[in-house]
Amino acid sequence: MSRPPPRSLEEFFYRKLMDSPAFHNWVRKIHARINRIDYTPHPDTKPKIKLNYLSYKPTTFHKVNAFRVIWADEMKRSFRFWS
């Protein structure tokens, strides 16, 4: 059953939050901590992938994109005409 489109931005963000498994997992974790009960992850959630930063090899695209982001940020800070 499909839902009608959201009527406001607030409703859109509310729906995104309510549809998010990560949000519900976070709420379950906080609930378990407050009530001092053992936290067991939901069986349907996927475990997070641990990345080994020592074996990470960025591609040329990653390097160029990182340079572009840093350069743009530096230019914004260097040529700011207000405050």
Q: Which residue has the higher pLDDT, 8 or 82?
A: 8
Give the long-range contacts of residues 50-54, CB within 8 A, separation 24 or more.
Answer: none
Q: Rounded to two decimals, what is the model's pTM? A: 0.47
83 pLDDT more than 60: no
Side-chain-facing half-sphere of 24: CA atoms under 13 Å: 11
Q: Rounded to an integer, what distance in angstroms lies between the CA atom of residue 61 and that of residue 33?
A: 42
Q: Rounded to an integer, what distance in angstroms lies between the CA atom of residue 68 and that of residue 62?
A: 10
